[in-house]
Chain A
Amino acid sequence: MVRLRVQSFVPLQQLRDEFDRVLKSFIGDRPQWASRKPAAPTGFPALNMWEEADALKVEAELPGMKSEDLDISVQGGELILQGKMAAACDASTYHRHERASGDFRRVVRLPVDVATDKVEATLRDGILQITLPKAAAAMPHKINVTSA
């Protein structure tokens, strides 16, 4: 039996993701940019996210970030990163000022359900790595065929 789920409201993001998915099935993966900066501007921090068999991994470069200034949460299928990058010094004369500082907030929609209680994050040498284990329902499940 086919069950039809009727949704009265489709969030725009979901619609866009669906469009991307359909497009991808025609033209394949988008090109991997060789440049450090993406072609289109992104939020801060820039993220790399990839999928492994049992987890999603997210990495961001946050040099100089202190873990106590970083707040990470997973809510309603979204990963929320927020925090504050401290400025080097406010009293000096800057000859160059290229490093990022200030408050940031970034929200990313997660493509699969994750086990929110098992999410882990580490901040080492200025690199934040978040491991989001997939929820049991989102894991590939092998069905053993028994011969009668």
Chain B
Amino acid sequence: MTMNQTIEADGADAAPVEPTRGGNYFRPPVDILEQTNELIVLADMPGVTADGVDVHFEDGVLTISGRIAPQSTVERKYLLNEYGVGDFYRSFQVSDQVDPAQITAEMTGGVLKLRLPKAAAARPRKIVVQAK
């Protein structure tokens, strides 16, 4: 298995698990970068603070969700309305090459950054040849 297959999105836009909270849900755009010893997932979730983020890992499925602050219910007189606002939800299939116990998350300026360290077996290892 190549590292390209390490993370696969669930494919469909629809969330496989229905959240209890109503309202609009959006699929955050992500960058997934591979580095020597870890994978980095960056997800844009504007309006979400660290308190509103939930990262869940179970049975090889990594799920990220972000709740935004409740929006004003006062009806707005829109002159431009180019995007919708709502909570975020997305899940990924993660191979067992990632060590789930070592996953860390941080939220800065509306961007969630997850670090998924590779399991020891998946890390590149340099074999030292000993001269005799």
A and B associate in one complex: yes
Q: Is the CB of B81 within 8 A of A32?
A: yes
Q: Is the interface of A mostly helix, strand, loop or mixed?
A: loop
B60 interfacial by beta-carbon distance below 8 Å: no
Chain A 44-82 per-residue mask, 1 if CB under 8 angstroms from chain B, else 0: 001111111000101001111110000000000000000
Closest Cβ of chain A: how far from B62's Cβ, in Å? Answer: 13
B residues near A98, Cβ cutoff 8 Å: 29-31
Q: Is the CB of A127 within 8 A of B47?
A: yes
Minimal Cβ-Cβ distance residue in A for B111: A64
A residues near B110, Cβ cutoff 8 Å: 61-64, 125-127
A residues near B44, Cβ cutoff 8 Å: 61, 63-64, 99-100, 126
Tell me how many residues of A have a C-beta within 8 Å of chain B. 41
Instruction: Say yes or no: A99-B109 contact (C-beta < 8 A), given A48-B81, A63-B45.
Output: no
CB under 8 Å from chain A, chain B span 97-120:
108-111
Pick from B33, B77, B79: contact of A95, CB below 8 A.
B33
Q: Is the CB of B79 within 8 A of A56?
A: yes
Which residue, A42, A95, A98, has most C-beta atoms of chain B within 10 A? Answer: A95
Pick from A37, A51, A92, A100: contact of B34, CB below 8 A.
A92
Minimal Cβ-Cβ distance residue in B for A42: B82
The range of chain B's interface size is: 35 or more
Q: How far is the CA of A93 from the CA of B49 in the complex (A)?
A: 28
Chain B 1-22 per-residue mask, 1 if CB under 8 angstroms from chain A, else 0: 0011011010000000000000
A5 interfacial by beta-carbon distance below 8 Å: no
Q: Is the CB of A33 within 8 A of B84?
A: yes
B residues near A63, Cβ cutoff 8 Å: 44-46, 109-111
Closest Cβ of chain B: how far from A109's Cβ, in Å? Answer: 10
B residues near A29, Cβ cutoff 8 Å: 78
Minimal Cβ-Cβ distance residue in A for B33: A92
Q: How far is the CA of A79 from the CA of B81 in the complex (A)?
A: 16
Q: How far is the CA of A47 from the CA of B82 in the complex (A)?
A: 5
Q: Is the CB of B7 within 8 A of A36?
A: no
CB under 8 Å from chain A, chain B span 34-72:
34-35, 39-40, 42, 44-49
A residues near B127, Cβ cutoff 8 Å: none
Q: Is the CB of A46 within 8 A of B82?
A: yes
Which residue, B34, B79, B86, has most C-beta atoms of chain A within 10 A? Answer: B79
- Give 20 A-B pairs besides A50-B77, A61-B83 with Cβ atoms closer than 8 angstroms: A35-B84, A36-B24, A46-B83, A47-B80, A61-B47, A62-B46, A63-B111, A64-B108, A88-B33, A92-B34, A95-B34, A96-B7, A98-B30, A111-B79, A123-B109, A125-B49, A125-B109, A125-B110, A126-B47, A127-B110
